[in-house]
Amino acid sequence: METREKIIIIGGGFAGLQLAKNLNKTKKKVIVIDKVNHHMFQPLFYQVASGRIEPSNISFPFRKIFQNSRNTFFRMTEVQKIVPTENKIITDAAEFHYDKLIIATGCKTNFFGNDKMENLTFGMKNTQEAISIRNHVLLTFEKLIIERGRSNEANWNIVIVGSGPTGVELAGAFAEMKAEILPRDYPNMNFSQLKIILISATEKPLSVMSNDSQDKSEKYLNDLGVQFLSGERVTDYDGEVVSMASGLQIPSKNVIWAAGVTGNIIDGLSAESVFKNRYKVDRHNRVIGCDNIFAIGDISYMETELYTTGHPQVANVAITQGKNLAKNLQKKPGQPWENYEYHDKGSMATIGKHRAVVDLPKLKFQGVFAWYFWMFLHLMLILSVRNKLAIFFNWMWSYLNKDSSLRLIIIPNKKNKTIQ
């Protein structure tokens, strides 16, 4: 009886999930390993953080996705180490052997080695962090209604560090919450003191997009009342005051860090295979120096003719690398593998209702149509019909009523009972 090739995929993000889905129902045995039990649609985390959609609407259990599969399996555990000489990985629960290993661990928030910043600010790279932001901000408003004028100025400033799509979209969402929702939730409070502050190391927001989109996004932020601080670099935060290289200081107990990402590297591979905290790979996504280990998505670093300094860490790269590797892994021995190259499909961001910017390869546009385009595209990328409908109805309710009913403060019970 022929033994099936065993492929282990570490990580179920856009890259890992796409690879697993394309290897589903093949003759290969596929094991997806992740420390959480669900795939997360990261582009909409900011809407979870601002109470616009439920976490369950953009989270998809792996066991549900592969419920009817006979060759794809899921194991919830965290990988601690790769042992390439023995073709195995060590997790916090067990050891797994593989014929081929694919690393798709993605990225985490980059705090640039500042432990204080990491401990005292909020990142937004997973569902738990998005929920934590929602809880913290809503608890701050509850605190303000009790303390009123006695409240520390730091409670009135929501500071977002980083002006990429995540930071810009989050700033727009909080600004709309301040204008449309909070006055109705707290009718006896004056929210004119509440400031949404976006700190940018670059002169314009969305620095990787076109000049038109940068200018328009800055205008949208100003129209919404967001205080945009350009050319500022955060150097320190003590839980009360944000300090910048220019000497400017901002009191705040609500700081969200969206200023960059770094790869989730796993112990075990040689230092020569890592560059800028990403795994160096060839045009087939094979890790340099390895025969049967591959890396795809944000964690991979591939130099090509079009991208001489590596591909951008965006969802489309992860998805297309997953598809390309799946095709190559299914080729028969002796068949040539296809090289990977990314063809830019564009970028976009939304900054509040009827405000969005879209850069496509041959077309750039902003405003109301861009906002509808953004909504439609993100809705189509959501995995299940049920989730598409849930998000659509939430968006329509919010659109028509300028409100949402999802501002729940849910704090986990602190009791830690051990399972026997």
Concatenated DSSP letters for 144-196? HHHHGGGS-GGGGEEEEE--SHHHHHHHHHHHHIIIIIHHHHSTT--GGG-EE
Tell me: pLDDT of 420 over 50: no
Same domain flag for 97 and 148: no
Domain for residue 253, yes or no?
Answer: yes
Domain for residue 361, yes or no?
Answer: no
More confident residue, 148 or 50: 50
Percent of the chain topping pLDDT 70: 96
Domain for residue 289, yes or no?
Answer: yes
pLDDT class for 419, splitting at 50, 70, 90?
very low
Same domain flag for 248 and 301: no
Mean pLDDT of the chain, nearest integer? 92
Structure tokens at 53: 């959609």
Domain boundary among the residues 212, 227, 259 is at 259
Same domain flag for 129 and 213: yes
Tell me: pLDDT of 373 over 80: yes
Domain for residue 201, yes or no?
Answer: yes
Q: What angle do CA 273, 276, 280 make, to 5 degrees?
A: 30
Whether residue 242 contacts residue 257, with contact meaning beta carbons closer than 8 Å, is answered with no
| Residues 213, 216, 220, 221, CA torsion sign | positive
CB neighbours of 376 closer than 8 A, spacing ≥ 6?
A: none
Could you report the per-residue pLDDT of 214-256, keeping only the tens digit for each?
Answer: 999 999 999 999 999 999 999 999 999 999 999 999 999 999 9
Number of structural domains in the chain? 2
- The CATH number for 80's domain is 3.50.50.60
Same domain flag for 241 and 268: no
Domain for residue 44, yes or no?
Answer: yes
Same domain flag for 119 and 255: yes
Same domain flag for 294 and 179: no
Residues paired with 244 in a beta bridge? 234
DSSP conformation class of 271: G
Domain for residue 254, yes or no?
Answer: yes
pLDDT class for 21, splitting at 50, 70, 90?
very high
Identify residue 155 by its one-letter amino acid code: N
Radius of gyration of the chain (CA): 23
Same domain flag for 173 and 130: yes
Secondary structure class of 54 (helix, strand, coil): coil
Domain boundary among the residues 206, 229, 259 is at 259
Domain for residue 418, yes or no?
Answer: no
- The CATH number for 154's domain is 3.50.50.100
Span 16-24, mean pLDDT? 96
Same domain flag for 157 and 247: yes
Alpha carbons 37 and 280: distance in angstroms, whole number = 28
Domain for residue 420, yes or no?
Answer: no
Same domain flag for 222 and 312: no
Residues paired with 159 in a beta bridge? 197, 255
Could you report the per-residue pLDDT of 51-97, keeping only the tens digit for each?
Answer: 888 899 999 999 999 999 999 999 999 999 999 999 999 999 999 99
Pairing of strands 100-103, 293-295: parallel
Same domain flag for 218 and 254: yes
List the domain range (segments joined by +) for residue 142. Answer: 115-259
Same domain flag for 224 and 287: no
Whether residue 92 contacts residue 113, with contact meaning beta carbons closer than 8 Å, is answered with no
Same domain flag for 141 and 238: yes
Domain boundary among the residues 218, 236, 259 is at 259
CB burial of 175-209 (b: ≥16 within 10 Å; e: otherwise) equals bbbbebbbeeeeeeeebeebbbbbbbbeebbbeeb
Distance of CA 233 to the CA centre of its chain: 22
